[in-house]
Structure 1
Amino acid sequence: MDFGFSEQQRDVQNLARKIFDDNVNAESLSQYDDYKSDRFDRELWQKLAEAGLLGVAIDEQFGGMGFGFFELALLIEEAGRAIAPLPLFSHLIAAAMPLQKYASPAQKQQWLPGVVSGEVLLSAALVEAYNDDPSQPWNTVASKEGDGFLISGEKTHVPFAHLADRILLTAKTEDGLVLALIDPKAKGVSLQEQRVTTYEPQSVLSLDNVRVSASDVLVSGAEGVAAAQWLAEHCTVALCAHQLGASDKAMRMTASYTAERKQFGVLISTFQAVGHRAASCFIDVECLRLNTYQAISRLDSGLDAANETQIAKIWAGDVGHRVSYAAQHLHGGTGIDRDYPLWRYCTWMRHNEMALGGSAKNLAKLGQRIAAGQAFCQ
């Protein structure tokens, strides 16, 4: 049995890697440091659109390639390897994928062609203050009004909200949840800038009785609960894919550095302690790769992946943490020099570690599932 990637998956991966390698480097990324400008390379965005990669998981009838979640996750992994200054996660994973799955034909026709061409920018409001679970909103509430909803509440850390045409969010209703698209310019919507260590533009999204018509509602009620869980799992695993790319790059960057850096006249890669720590990084990254691909594969096949998603996120948090520390240690002072690119990877690995639940929180959830007989007990 062949456990390798298919030809189409390799093609997507190689194409994405070539585009990112040709267009993203330390010099190009430096223009976004310290919020000197929005962390959004529009020329690169257009190149991805022209290559068809913005539509990798969008149906062909809307201009996409018609592939699945696995191919899209490989694109996200390559974006992590380059820490590309693009809203790929919020645009394609958190917003376009739910549209592809749950939107009506009219909604798909309205938004998906623009998603593929790059002319439409979507975002998603996944978390609230002290609540990083998109499937269980606490303080964002929707009440029925006519054929639509009135939504009030607050979401935090919404990527590229000030540039988005629509923002997808989840809100609590009397009979479940609603997934809806919010116009950031609508009456009752306000945005407050948030600054984060990755320099990605983010905002606090406040909603005060925002009217959402039926044309902007994807799903509601009990079906909305299942849709929100589907969204949470796919977003979590996509973060793991981004973490895999960033961790793998930081590990290889460190290996290259130790193979060139000399101390006492010899390469530090020949020191036993250095070799052991670098080998541990390699093992960590490969374990993250195995668990991430396992979760991606099950989700792509439509199988239950609750356990695999939590396991992958636990590994993503722990591996990012350990690789970041080891890379800094083995680089010495060079690792924290902002003229050297490693520090950007470390900030993104920390971001991915904590986003949508850190390792401790996911480990506790997994433990509850094991205790309830929902994992590894059949």
Structure 2
Amino acid sequence: MDFRPAEEQAAAAGLAAEIFRDLATHQRLAAAGTATDAELWKALTAAGLPAAVPDIGLLGLVLVLEEQGRTTAQVPLAATCVYGIHAVAAHGSAEQRARLLPALGTGEAVATGAFPARGPARGPVGGRVSAGPDGRLTGVLPVVPWLRDATHVLVPAGAGTPGPALWLVRTDTAGAAVEPVQTTAPWAAGRLTLTGAAAEPLGGPGAYDAVLAAARTAFAGLQAGVCAGSLARAVEHTCSREQFGRPLSTNQGVMLRAADAYMDTEAIRVTTYEAAWRLDAGLPAEEHALTAAWWASEAGKRVVHAGQHLHGGTGADLDHPVHRHFLWGRQLDAYLGCGSELLAELGDVLARKERA
């Protein structure tokens, strides 16, 4: 097991950090509201970061998403890369790769997934989609991240072994309706209603579970960055703010709270790296992706709460940058699934493997 990034992975993460640092400023984020920062998205695609995903692998993508999370940048990078580029590169036919990957890489097309990190037994969160014999989909998915930007949606539908089949739907096709919805974090989310919408299959048996594991890992990496950014802001604040003639950071209670947040952040990072490394290596990683998702959900919300708490009264200011990390952390917690759900699914996976 070797988590050290390859040269191209480190270069991609460094380039992403530079772009996010220059363009994902608090002022631009506040002005964007729930909309995507078009200039930032153009800069990322022009730099070739989304298009590089097949070359840098899932671990490289996780490193890039960490940098996005540090700034909570308003772009559909995680969704497009994991549900679009990574999924098509790994499971698409030669024709699908040739047709879809160039547009997804340049940002001309934007992808998202109409399912969160839930297990195949429960299917898409809050709704189900059925597939007819002619490949037309019917159903409602109440909350799909970045749907208002998407040109393509990856939808699981129908019963299959070991999971449902995957279908790729264009948002401009007849029978597909998109309505805006509001979420905790400003993710340009929407409600997807399908009434006999035409779709094309993507991948074969096992593709759903593979994409689900990759999505869990990618969004856990995003959470690692969100937590690291929140903690960095808390450290800066407590080191510069004085109380009774000394920095807040010298108080034992502050140090302990920050230390706990740091350990939680590192736990998210290392479990995510392990899951990504195993998936890139073609090794079984279902339980590792679940473990990363559990840490991202459970520990992630602790870290963003701590980041806000360590800001004192300033943390209650809804316009303060640390509040954006709080919103993203809680949204990722909800998207990945609550800890008890994830632990129950992890137990089922381990029990199934023990019986095999």
RMSD of the TM alignment (CA)?
2.2
- State the TM-score, normalized to the length of structure 1: 0.87
Q: Relative to structure 2, which stretch is displaced further, 155-164 or 285-294?
A: 155-164
Tell me, in whole angstroms, the C-alpha distance in 2 between the residues paired with 1:41 and 1:250: 21
Alignment partner of 1:113: what SS?
helix
Cα shift readout 1:240-265 (whole Å, capped 9, x = no counterpart):
10000010111111111111111112
Name the residue aligned to 2:164: 177
1:173, distance to aligned residue in structure 2 (A): 4.8
Q: Distance in 2 between matches of 1:285 and 1:160?
A: 25
Aligned partner of 2:266 in structure 1 is: 286
- Are 1:45 and 2:41 an aligned pair? yes
Which residue pairs with 1:273 in the alignment?
253
1:217 aligns with 2:201: yes
Gaps of 5+ in 2: none
Q: How far apart in 2 are the matches of 1:275 and 1:174?
A: 50
The separation in 2 between residues aligned to 1:98 and 1:369, in whole angstroms, is 23
For the 8 Å contact 1:123–1:161, the answer to whether it is kept is yes
Deviation at 1:308, TM superposition (A): 0.9
Higher helix share: 2
Relative to structure 1, the CA distance from residue 160 to residue 329 in structure 2 (aligned partners, 3 Å threshold; closer, same or farther) is closer
Aligned to 1:63: none
**Cα 1:48–1:132, aligned 2, differ >3 Å: closer, same or farther?**
same
Contact 1:170–1:178, Cα closer than 8 Å, also in 2: yes
Q: Is the 8 A contact 1:134 1:231 kept in 2?
A: no
Which amino acid in structure 1 is aligned with residue 248 of structure 2? I
Which residue in the other structure is 1:322 paired with? 302
Verify the 8 A CA contact 1:288 1:312 in the aligned structure 2. Answer: yes
Question: Which residue does the alignment assign to 1:107?
Answer: 96
Aligned match of 2:105 in 116, 127, 133? 116
> Where do residues 1-378 of structure 1 align in structure 2 (5 Å cutoff)?
3-33=3-33, 35=34, 38=35, 40-58=36-54, 66-127=55-116, 132-133=118-119, 136-137=123-124, 139-145=128-134, 149-173=135-159, 177-212=164-199, 216-219=200-203, 223-224=204-205, 226-372=206-352, 374=354
Number of aligned residue pairs: give it.
352
Whether the aligned pair in 2 keeps the contact of 1:50 and 1:117 (CA below 8 Å) is yes
SS in 2 for 1:206: strand
Shift of 1:336: 1.9
Query: For the structure 1 residues 104 and 320, does the alpha-carbon distance in structure 2 shift closer, same or farther, using more than 3 Å as the test?
Result: same
Counterpart secondary structure, 1:192: strand
Q: Which amino acid aligns with 2:37?
A: D
Q: 1:277 to 1:31 in 2, by over 3 A?
A: same
Q: Residues of 2 paired with 1:119 and 1:67: CA distance?
A: 21
C-alpha separation in 2, matches of 1:229 and 1:177: 9
Q: Which residue type is aligned with residue 24 of structure 1? A: A
Contact conserved, 1:142 with 1:173, CA < 8 A, in 2? Answer: no
Change (3 A) 1:4 1:161: closer
Q: Runs of 5+ in structure 1 lacking a partner?
A: 59-65
Distance (whole Å) between structure 2 residues aligned to residue 287 and residue 9 of structure 1: 21
* Preserved CA contact (<8 Å) 2:3 2:273: no
Conservation of the 8 A alpha-carbon contact between 1:142 and 1:151: yes
Q: Give the Cα separation in 1 of the matches to 2:310 and 2:284.
A: 40
Deviation sequence 1:8-53 (CA, Å, 0-9, x none): 22211111101100111111100133x4xx2x11111111122111
Q: Identify which of structures 1 and 2 has the higher relative contact order when contacts are C-alpha pairs closer than 8 Å and 6+ apart.
A: 2
CA distance in 1, matches of 2:192, 2:317: 34
Rg (Cα) greater in structure: 1
* Residues 247 and 319 in structure 1, CA contact (< 8 A), matched pair in contact too: no
Counterpart amino acid of 2:44?
A: L
CA contact (8 A) 2:110 2:151 kept: yes
Is the 1:32–1:199 contact (alpha carbons within 8 Å) kept by the matching residues of 2? no
Q: TM-score, normalized by length of structure 2?
A: 0.92
